[in-house]
Amino acid sequence: MSPTSSEQVDPTLPAARRVAATSQRLREQRERRRFERTFWMLAASLAAIAAVFLLLGSLQGPKLSSAVVDAARVTEQPGQQLRLFANQPLGEVAPEQVTVTPAAAVTVSVQDDLMVVQFEQRLRSGTEYLVEVRDVSALSRDALSTFSYRFTTAQASVLYLDRGDDLDEVLRAPLDGTGRGEVVHAAPGIQHIAPIENVVVVARDAEGGTSVLESISRDGGVQQLRLPQGARVDRLIVPPSGTLLGMVLTTVDEAAEPLPGVLAVVDLAAEGIVSIVPGLDGQPITTLNAAFLPDGSTLIVHAFDQSVLRVELTEPPLALPIGQVPEMYALSTDGTRLTGSDAFGGVVLDLATAEESRLDPSLVEGELAFGGEAILTSTELRVQKVAVADVVTGAVRVVLVADDGSGTARVLLRTIDDRGSIGDFSISPNDQFVAVEVTPSVEDAVADGRPVNGRATSVTTVIIDIESGAVVRTLDGFSPIW
C-alpha cells in the first residue's frame, strides 16, 4: 500500500510499521477535514442566526427595562410620577397613548431612555393599577412596542387619639388591619395631636389650664417646643407636607400678655419656638378656624371679624384678604375652594377668584334636607352633614351624605335608631375615605371631663369608603388624621 499523503513513510522501517504509520496519517487527515467542515458549517449557522436576530431586532421596538413609583406618596399628593426605563433612547409619547386602569388622568414626557408618566390626581389606596403605553418608538428605528407595568398602591392609615383613665394613647391604624393599631405615643392629658413628617406633635394639659407642646420622634425621643407664656393650645393645624405646624392659642395666665385665640406657627426643622403670626396691621390675627393649602406654607384663615385671609408664612408673614363668610367649614381636598355658611345656607368661596356660590343640599331618600358642615372633594362630589325632618312625626335625624349635586344624595352614615350624634369628619387626601367621629347614643353619653377638646367617653371613629358606602374600620377614639 502506497501512502497518499505528500509526506513519505521512511522506507527503512519495517513493512508493518510503514502500513500502521500510513493508516494513522490517513485517519488524522480525515479527522482534520471533518473538523474543518463542521467548523465552517457551525460558523455559517451562527452567522445566519445572528443575521436573523439582527433582522428581528430591527423589526422590534424598544423594551421596558425597569420602573420606579412611590406606592405611598402617589396616594397622598398629586403630581407623583411613574418612571419607566427603556433599553434605548425613545421617541416622543403623547398622553393619548397612555391608558391607566383604573382610570386616572396623566401627562407623559420622555428624556432619552426615560419615560415619565405623571398622575395629575392622587390614586386610590390599596389598589392595583395597570399602566399601558402604546406605540412606543425608538429614535434609531421605526418599529413600535407597548410598555405595560402593574403596581399596587399602599394602604391608607389614620392617626387617632384614644383617651384612658391614667394615660392617653396616640395610635396609628392601617385601614386593612384589625384591632386598635400601633401605639405611637402614650402620655397623660393629651389635648391635640398632629403628625408632621417623621414626628408626632402633642399638646398636653399643664398647670393653670395651659398647654405643653411636645414633639415625639419615631424612636420615642421627646422635645419640648416653646410656647408663649401662659398659652393654651385651642387647635393644631396640620400641613399636608413640610415642617410648619400651625395652631390657635389663647392666654389663660392672667400674668401673661392676653392672646384671645390668635394664630401661631412653629417650624419643627428650626429651633422649635412658637411665634405669633401678625396681620397687615402688625397685630396678632384672632382666628376662628384655619387650614393649610397643599404647599404646606400658606394658611387660609377665618378671622374673628369673619374675613377670610390668605396668610403666606414668609419672613415676615403676609396676610391678604380674600373674602368674607360668617362661618367656615373646611377647605376642599385639592385646596382650591372653601366651604362655609351664611344666613341663607351653605356657600362655596373660590380662593383664586373670590367668587361665591350657593351650596344647596340635594334630596335625601326623597326628603328635603338642611345642609350643615360640608367638605368638597377635588371633583363635584362633596361629603356633607345634613338634617332631615320626618314628615309624619317631625323628628329630625342627622345623617352624613355623599352629594354630587345631581339632586339626590347618598346616605353614607346614620347612627342606630338615630340615637347618636355625628361629629367632626375628614376626607382622605385621595378622596377615597371619610373618617367620622360618632357618639353612638347621646342619651347615654358621658363626658370625659377634659378641660380642653373634651369628648364623650364612648366616641368612636368610623371610616367609610365614599364610593361604595362600606364601613372599612371602626376605632375607639377620635381626632382622626390622615
Q: 455: closest CA among 467, 465, 442?
A: 442
What is 404-432 written as a DSSP string?
-SSSEEEEEE--GGG-SEEEEEEE-TTSS
pLDDT tops 60 at residue 162: yes
Domain shared by 55 and 68, yes or no: no
Task: Name the one residue in this structure whose C-alpha cell is 338634617.
Answer: 387
pLDDT band at 3, cuts 50/70/90? very low
Q: Does a structural domain hold residue 426?
A: no
Predicted local confidence at residue 234, as pLDDT: 96
Q: Which of 59, 76, 106 is the last residue of a domain?
A: 59
Q: Does a structural domain hold residue 254?
A: no
Three cell numbers written together for 464: 367609610
Amino acid at the residue 121: Q
Predicted local confidence at residue 384, as pLDDT: 98
Long-range pairs for 385-394: beta carbons < 8 A, 24 or more residues apart: 385/422, 385/425, 386/361, 388/364, 391/367
Predicted local confidence at residue 36, as pLDDT: 77
Q: Does a structural domain hold residue 190?
A: no
Domain shared by 26 and 93, yes or no: no
Three cell numbers written together for 327: 362661618
Predicted local confidence at residue 19, as pLDDT: 67
Burial 239-270 (b: 16+ CB within 10 A, else e): bbebbbbbbbbbbbbeeeeebebbbbbbbbee
Q: 215: closest CA among 240, 252, 247, 173?
A: 247
Those residues whose C-beta lies under 8 Å from the C-beta of residue 250, and which sit 6 or more positions away, are 231, 232, 234, 259, 260, 261, 262
Q: Report residue 121: phi and psi, to 5°.
A: -120, 170
CB of 284 closer than 8 Å to CB of 302: no
Q: 196: closest CA among 287, 266, 261?
A: 266
User: Please, what sign has the CA dihedral across residues 131, 137, 138, 139?
Assistant: negative
Three cell numbers written together for 70: 412611590
User: Please, what sign has the CA dihedral across residues 276, 279, 283, 287?
Assistant: negative
Give the span between the Cα atoms of 482 and 480, in whole angstroms: 7
pLDDT band at 11, cuts 50/70/90? low
Give the span between the Cα atoms of 468 and 461, in whole angstroms: 18
In 10 A of CB 465, how many CB atoms? 17
CB of 224 closer than 8 Å to CB of 201: no
Q: Which of 130, 152, 174 is the last residue of a domain?
A: 152
pLDDT tops 50 at residue 1: no
Q: Does a structural domain hold residue 88?
A: yes
Q: What is the DSSP secondary structure assignment for residue 380, as one 8-state letter?
A: S
Q: Does a structural domain hold residue 340?
A: no
Predicted local confidence at residue 52, as pLDDT: 55
In whole numbers, what is the pLDDT of the chain averaged over residues?
Answer: 91
Q: Does a structural domain hold residue 477?
A: no
Domain shared by 90 and 135, yes or no: yes
CB of 425 closer than 8 Å to CB of 434: yes
Q: 265: closest CA among 247, 240, 284?
A: 247
Give the C-alpha distances (Å, rounded to integers) separating 272 from 162, 223, 265, 331: 26, 9, 10, 27
Three cell numbers written together for 11: 522506507
Domain shared by 53 and 74, yes or no: no
Predicted local confidence at residue 57, as pLDDT: 54
Three cell numbers written together for 89: 433612547
pLDDT tens figures, 347-404? 999 999 999 999 999 999 999 999 999 999 999 899 999 999 887 787 899 999 999 9
Predicted local confidence at residue 444, as pLDDT: 94
Domain shared by 108 and 139, yes or no: yes
Q: Which of 59, 84, 99 is the last residue of a domain?
A: 59
Residue-number span of the structural domain to which 24 is assigned:
1-59
Give the span between the Cα atoms of 148 and 132, in whole angstroms: 4
Q: What is the DSSP secondary structure assignment for residue 257, as one 8-state letter?
A: P
pLDDT tops 90 at residue 425: yes
pLDDT tens figures, 199-240? 999 999 999 999 999 999 998 899 999 999 999 999 999 999
Work out how many domains the chain is built from and give that number: 2
Residue 115 sits in a domain whose CATH number is 2.60.40.1220
Domain shared by 39 and 78, yes or no: no
Domain shared by 140 and 69, yes or no: yes
Domain shared by 10 and 77, yes or no: no
Of 251-260, 302-311, 392-401, which one has max mean pLDDT?
Answer: 302-311
Give the span between the Cα atoms of 87 and 263, in whole angstroms: 54
Give the span between the Cα atoms of 94 and 198, in whole angstroms: 38
Domain shared by 50 and 127, yes or no: no
pLDDT tens figures, 139-153? 877 789 999 999 999
Domain shared by 53 and 87, yes or no: no
Q: Does a structural domain hold residue 265?
A: no
Predicted local confidence at residue 186, as pLDDT: 96
pLDDT tops 60 at residue 8: no
Those residues whose C-beta lies under 8 Å from the C-beta of residue 446, and which sit 6 or more positions away, are 456, 457, 458
Q: Does a structural domain hold residue 46?
A: yes
pLDDT tops 50 at residue 4: no
Give the span between the Cα atoms of 69 and 67, in whole angstroms: 7
Domain shared by 20 and 72, yes or no: no
Give the span between the Cα atoms of 375 and 429, in whole angstroms: 12
pLDDT band at 18, cuts 50/70/90? low
